[in-house]
Each structure stands twice: as structure tokens, then as C-alpha cells.
Amino acid sequence: MGIMIIAEAGVNHNGSLELAKQMVVKAQEAGADYVKFQTFQPEKLVSRHAAKAEYQKAETGSEESQLEMLKKLALTQEEFVELKTYCEEIGIGFLSTPFDLESIDFLERMEPDFWKIPSGEVTNMPYLIKLAQTHRPIVMSTGMCTTEDIKDALNILKMYGAGEITLLHCNTQYPTPMEDVNLYAMETMRESFALPVGYSDHTIGIEVPIAAAALGAVVLEKHFTLDQTMEGPDHAASLEPEQLKAMIQAVRNIEQALGCKEKQITASESANRAVARKSIVAECAICAGEVFSEKNLTVKRPGSGISPMRWFDLIGKTATRDYEADECISPDEIEKA
């Protein structure tokens, strides 16, 4: 498989199974490999004293607590089982990020292809240990992380038996300002940790994930919603279905365009060589027995005759036949004794 694209539904279903199923359909139609949700028990995730993030306050107000907000956004375990079955029926991979230890146990029974660790859990040792002990592959976002944070998390994951690990560069601000994206950090992470890298995006628009694809991301994650104007914390910083589809098509185009590292003539351009390149031609009429010189030769299209790179192989030779002006000089003139 090429670049793995995860359409992050997150909590943009607003706690509605029906909306979640509609998002599954839109993610599949857009061409995503996986649609990802978030599994949590609100009381296990945040204390009743936890404040909302500023972006959450901006989108949902500051009257309710983070706990009260999350209670409105949670799906039940039964609904997640139904969602996974629905994903299988329409042909898209199902994922959900666990946010507490009991949710890890629940999702493990659903046998996920891999775990997606969110940035906020990178420093949660009990969480990391429990995921690692399942021995499944892991994709880990690294928003808000220093190099030391990542190193510490990797040590724990490896110590407790995690499968293959992929790191996602990420900035945990919704939306992320362009000046804070720092895509080159993705390359630094690849070099520093000798692991596959990708990118989890929270910017407005589609251009940054496309750039990440060009820089060698093997996994891309992007939030999407059915409608950016819906009430909820993440809708405004998410793509609508048509935007998601456009992003994925652009990434697939970039994936093809990257090609191999060898510089070679492609099948599509080979036919244009004779049209676009030039040959050595007669500048004026040349008679048999006349010596080829810079006065009676020039270079013009088409490129079907002697390459101008052999200019000095021809200069000084004697013409074996007559040539009209603009006529390509025969390659035989160089090859003759």
C-alpha cells in the first residue's frame, strides 16, 4: 500500500451513531484507507475540574466544563461495534483511538489493525505500557512533544513489546497557524529515530498534507466533518467531504509523481525528443567535397539527425554528398573513415 490516509472523524459525529455512519460513507467515497473515531469514558478521561481548551471554548462556549462537553460527544461500546461492522460492509478500515485503559481493553477485543496514539497520551506511561503489551503496530502523534518526550515514549513502547512504530509529526493547535507547522521536523524525526514518519494535520485547507506527502510521509491523518458550521469543538478546523476527497486525490497524484529516484526518460516524453531537441543541419547549400565548418553548419529542430553534442566530430570532415539549406546532415558523415 502507498501512503496510508486516515480520515479523522473524531467526535465530529456529535454523539450520533447516524451521523457517524454518514461520516463512514463520506470517508470511503473520498478514498480514505481508514476512518477513525475516538473511544472514551468521559469520567475516566477528564476530572470534573478540567477546563476546556481555548479552541474548545471558542467553538462551544465556556459555560459547560470539558467533562460535560465530552458526555455529549461519547458513543457507547455497542455503537462502536456497530460502526466497525458498518465499515467492513462498505469497505473502509475502522479505527478508534482509546483515551483510557478500559477503552483499550474494549477496542483490543475488536482486534484493530494498529493503535493510533494521540499527542496527549505520549507522556501517559500506564497507557503506553498497556498498548505495547498487545504487541500491535502503533502510529503515534507527537504534538506538544520534545525530542526527549518522544524518546521516552519509544523506550517504553519497545520495552513492553509494541509492534512496528510509525511517528506522526503534529501540532496540537486547532487550527494550526502555518508558521507553526514546521514540516521539516518530520524529516528530522525520521533521521533521529530511524522510524517511518508521517503527519497529522490540524491546519485549515489541504495544502500542508499534500506537502507532507511530497516530503515522504507514509501516513497522513486529517480531521473531517459533514459540515464545518455544525456545533462542536472540532468542526471548524476540519475538512468537509468534498475537500477531503480533493486532498486525497491530490495526495495520490503526488504519490505517483514522486516516482523513483533514478533520472530517466519516461514513456510519455520519449516521443517528444525528436520534436523538442535539435540536430546539426546545413546553414546553406553544401556541395559534395566541401569541408564542414561553423560557416556552413547550424543547429535547428527537429532532433532526428546528428546531435549537436557531436558538433566537433563533424567539423573538419568532408561532405560526401550535396545538402540543401536546412537539411539534416547524415550520421554517415561522422562514421565514415
Domain 4-258 listed as CATH 3.40.50.720: no
Q: Quick: pLDDT tens for 136-160.
A: 999 999 999 999 999 999 999 999 9
- Cα separation, 170 vs 143, in Å, equals 4
Question: What number of residues does the chain have?
Answer: 337
- Cα separation, 296 vs 40, in Å, equals 83
Q: Quick: pLDDT tens for 307-324.
A: 999 999 999 999 999 999
pLDDT of residue 336: 73
- Cα separation, 4 vs 33, in Å, equals 6
Q: How confident is the model at residue 52 (pLDDT cuts 50, 70, 90)?
A: low
Q: Is the dihedral of CA 246, 251, 255, 261 positive or negative?
A: positive
Question: Does residue 34 contact residue 16 with C-beta atoms inside 8 Å?
Answer: no
Q: Quick: pLDDT tens for 232-257.
A: 888 988 999 999 999 999 999 999 99
- Cα separation, 82 vs 84, in Å, equals 5
Q: How confident is the model at residue 113 (pLDDT cuts 50, 70, 90)?
A: very high
Instruction: Give the full edge-to-edge strand order of the sheet including 93-98.
Output: 93-98, 34-39, 4-10, 219-223, 197-201, 165-170, 138-141, 115-117
β-partners of residue 4 are: 219
Domain 268-335 listed as CATH 3.90.1210.10: yes
What phi and psi values does residue 134 have, to the nearest 5 degrees? -80, -15
Give the count of alpha carbons within 13 A of 152, CB side only.
12
- Cα separation, 305 vs 307, in Å, equals 6
| CA 240, chain centre distance (Å) | 18
Largest CA distance in the chain: 101
Task: Please give the average per-residue pLDDT across 272-294, as a whole number.
Answer: 96
What are the residue ranges of CATH 3.90.1210.10 in the chain? Answer: 268-335
Q: How confident is the model at residue 69 (pLDDT cuts 50, 70, 90)?
A: confident
Q: Quick: pLDDT tens for 199-236.
A: 999 999 999 999 999 999 999 999 999 999 998 888 98
- Cα separation, 332 vs 263, in Å, equals 30
Helix (H) or strand (E) holding 5: strand 4-10
Is the pLDDT confidence value at 59 over 70?
no
pLDDT of residue 46: 86
Q: Which of 292, 288, 289 is nearest to 316 (CA)?
A: 292
- Cα separation, 86 vs 43, in Å, equals 28
Task: Please give the average per-residue pLDDT across 11-23, as a whole number.
Answer: 96
Is the pLDDT confidence value at 1 over 90?
no
- Cα separation, 34 vs 201, in Å, equals 15
Q: Quick: pLDDT tens for 156-190.
A: 999 999 999 999 999 999 899 999 999 999 999 99
Residue type, 161: G
Question: What phi-psi label fits residue 61: left (phi over 0), alpha (psi between -120 and 50 degrees) or beta?
Answer: left
DSSP per-residue codes, 249-296:
HHHHHHHHHH--SS----HHHHTTHHHHS-EEEESS-B-TTPBP-TTT
Rg of the chain taking only CA atoms, in angstroms: 30
Q: Which of 168, 8, 158, 163 is nearest to 97 (CA)?
A: 8
- Cα separation, 18 vs 114, in Å, equals 25
pTM of the model: 0.87
Is the pLDDT confidence value at 51 over 60?
yes
Is the pLDDT confidence value at 337 over 60?
no
Q: Quick: pLDDT tens for 31-50.
A: 999 999 999 988 888 887 77
- The per-residue pLDDT of the chain, averaged, comes to 94
What are the residue ranges of CATH 3.20.20.70 in the chain? Answer: 4-258
Is the pLDDT confidence value at 60 over 60?
yes
| CA 122, chain centre distance (Å) | 22
- Cα separation, 226 vs 235, in Å, equals 8
Q: Quick: pLDDT tens for 70-99.
A: 888 999 999 999 999 999 999 999 999 999
What DSSP character marks residue 322? -
pLDDT of residue 183: 98
pLDDT of residue 48: 79
